[in-house]
Structure 1
Amino acid sequence: MSSTPSAPSPAPRSPETEFPPTLREVMLRGRWIGMLLLCLVVAGVFAWLGQWQLGRAIDTSPPPPGATEKVLPLDQVVKPGEYLDAALVGQRTQASGSWIPGDFLIVSSRFNDGAEGYWVTGQLRISGTAKPTSLAVAVGWAADEAAAKAAVQRLEKTADGSVVTVKGRLISDEGPVAPPKDQPTRMDRMSPAALLGFWHDTAGLDVYRPFLASTAALGGLDAISSPAPEEHSSVNWLNIFYAVEWAIFAGFAFYLWYRLAKDAWEREVEEFEERRSVADPDPGAL
Structure 2
Amino acid sequence: MDSDRPGAPRGRVAVLTVVALVVVLVCSGLGVWQWQRGNVVVTEPPARQPVAPVSRIVDAGASGAAAVLSADEVGHRVEVSGTFDPSVDLLVPGRSLDGVVGSWVLGVVVLPDGSGVPLVRGWVPEGAAAPAPPVGQVDLVGVVQPPEASDVAPSTAVLPAGQTWVVSAADLVNRVEYPVANAYVTDSAPAAGLEAVPPADPGQATRRLDWRNLAYAGQWWVFALFAAVIWFRALRDERRGTGEDDPGPPPEGSADGVDDGAGGRDMSGAR
Does residue 1:123 correspond to 2:108, yes or no? yes
1:217-228 equivalence runs, <5 A: 217-218=190-191, 220-226=193-199
Letter in 1 for 2:165: D
Identity %: 25
Say if 2:42 is the partner of 1:62.
yes
CA pair 114-90 structure 1, distance change in 2 beyond 3 A:
farther
Residue by residue over 1:57-88, the C-alpha shift from the partner in whole angstroms, topping out at 9 and shown as x without a partner, is x9866212566442111122222232111221
1:210 correspondence with 2:186: no
Aligned to 1:183: 159
Write the deviation string for residues 20-65 of structure 1: whole angstroms up to 9, x where unpaired.
xxxxxxxxxxxxxxxxxxxxxxxxxxxxxxxxxxxxxx98662125
Distance 2:179 2:119 in 1: 15
Shift of 1:142: 0.9
Contact 1:68 1:228 in 2 (8 A): no
Partners of 1:181 and 1:212 in 2: how far apart? 26
- 1:97 maps to a residue whose letter is G
Q: How far, CA to CA, are the matches of 2:52 and 2:166 in structure 1?
A: 26
Q: Is the 8 A contact 1:175 1:193 kept in 2?
A: no
Cα gap change, 1:106 to 1:227, in 2 (>3 Å):
closer
- Higher Cα radius of gyration: 2
Whether the 8 Å contact between 1:121 and 1:139 is mirrored in structure 2 is yes
Cα separation, partners in 2 of 1:231 and 1:114, compared to 1, 3 Å: farther
- Structure 2 distance, partners of 1:120, 1:59, is 41
Structure showing the higher strand proportion among its residues: 2
Ranges in structure 2 where 5+ consecutive residues have no aligned partner: 1-37, 210-271
What corresponds to 1:138 in structure 2? 120
Give the structure-1-normalised TM-score: 0.50
Distance 1:182 1:168, change over 3 A: closer
Please report the TM-score for the alignment, with normalisation by the length of structure 2: 0.53
Cα pair distance change 1:221/1:234, threshold 3 Å: same
- For 1:138, give the aligned amino acid: V
In the alignment, what sits opposite 2:59? Answer: 79
Aligned residue for 1:171? 145
Q: How many residues align?
A: 164
Rounded Cα–Cα distance in structure 1 between residues aligned with 2:167 and 2:39: 30
SS at match of 1:194: helix
Match of 1:259 in 2: none
Deviations 1:178-197 (A, max 9, x none): 86344365533222321332
Deviation of the 1:100 alpha carbon:
1.1
RMSD of aligned alpha carbons = 2.9
Q: What's the secondary structure of 2:172's corresponding residue?
A: helix
Question: Which structure shows the bigger proportion of residues in helix conformation?
Answer: 1
Q: Structure 1 CA distance, aligned partners of 2:94 and 2:108?
A: 20
